[in-house]
Structures are given as structure tokens and as C-alpha cells.
Amino acid sequence: MMAKRKTKSTKPILNRIKEVLEEQGKTQTWLAEKLDKDFVTVTRYVNNHRQPSLETLFEIGRVLRVNPKDLINY
């Protein structure tokens, strides 16, 4: 009988947009307006139901004045 191989669990990469918005006292509505994106799209990013493209992540970093890598949990 073959031994079962343990697989390394891969944690999904999630963003920290919600935390940064809260730290800065900014709202999802504000961010949606600054990005010229639909509120629902930004809400999906903030709640980690969807991840922004790299281009959008850099734009979010620019708008929030943070390094884009600080918006990602990895």
C-alpha cells in the first residue's frame, strides 16, 4: 500500500484594501469614485470576493498613497 502524500495547503492571496480604507478613514464609495469603477466592483475587491488586476491594484495603491505590495496578504 502506498503512503498518502501530504499536500501543502495553499492559502489564497487576499488583499488588504478593506483594512487600508479603514485605517485611512475612507469609504468604498470614495474609492469607487476615485477609480471610476462601479461601487459593486469595488465592494467585491474590498470583501475579497474578487481580486483586482495588477493594473487596478497599482491604481488603488496610487489613490490610497500606499505601496501596492502593502495591499496584499501573502
Q: What is the mean pLDDT of the chain?
A: 91
In a domain, 51, yes or no: yes
For residue 13, what pLDDT band results from cuts at 50, 70 and 90? Answer: confident
For residue 9, what pLDDT band results from cuts at 50, 70 and 90? Answer: low
Give the three-state DSSP class for 65. Answer: coil
The rounded Cα 13 to chain-centroid distance in angstroms is 9
Say what the pLDDT of residue 74 is: 76
| Residue among 30, 12, 63, 60 nearest 71 (CA) | 60
Mean of pLDDT values over 1-12: 62
| Residue among 51, 53, 65 nearest 15 (CA) | 51
Q: Structural domain of residue 65, as residue ranges?
A: 14-73
Tens of pLDDT, residue by residue over 45-70, are 999 999 999 999 999 999 999 999 99
Q: How many domains, the chain?
A: 1
In a domain, 25, yes or no: yes
